[in-house]
Amino acid sequence: MAVRAMDAETRAVRNDHGAIRLWLRLLATNRLVETRTRRLLQERFATTLPRFDLMAQLERAPRGLKMGELSRRMMVTGGSVTGITDMLEDEGLVERVADPADRRAWVVRLTPAGRRAFAAMAQEHERWIIEAFAELTGREMSLMAALLARVKTHVRSLEGNKA
């Protein structure tokens, strides 16, 4: 007899509403993919998912981003962004430069070494995510993405577009 792994989904019972069971399945699946990704980033690159996420934001903004913008995009506190940035700067992967438009502000951007390091991580990260969804066909992934987009739009409308 196979033992079922304990996760968010195991909290569901047969008479729970389908929306509750679906939500718990989404949570459990997300946690599995994220936990695997975190482990692989640590094993392969000795880094963390927040560091990867910060570098990903900077990779998409070659001119750099202000700390507040990084915080907003990553949906974390300014203190968290500062701590991660400090560590990456100490390692020579990012740099802080004066913002030409606002002499009081600093812009964070990847260094050439940071770009190379991120490129290697991003290539592996993409492969890991593709592996995680390999059981689905392209059509199934498109359908799932479309359905989740509808839920996302609906929940945002419930919040008056604040989310």
pLDDT in tens, 74-124: 998 888 999 999 999 999 999 999 888 888 888 999 999 999 999 999 999
Tell me the whole-structure pTM to 2 decimals: 0.83
N-to-C CA span, the chain? 43
**C-alpha distances out from residue 105 to 53, 67, 68, 96, Å:** 22, 9, 10, 10
What whole-number distance in Å separates Cα of residue 53 and Cα of residue 58? 9
- pLDDT mean over 4-19: 67
- pLDDT mean over 2-18: 64
Predicted pLDDT of residue 63: 92
15-132 maps to which CATH number?
A: 1.10.10.10
Q: How confident is the model at residue 15 (pLDDT cuts 50, 70, 90)?
A: confident
For residues 64 and 109, the answer to whether their CB atoms sit within 8 Å is: yes
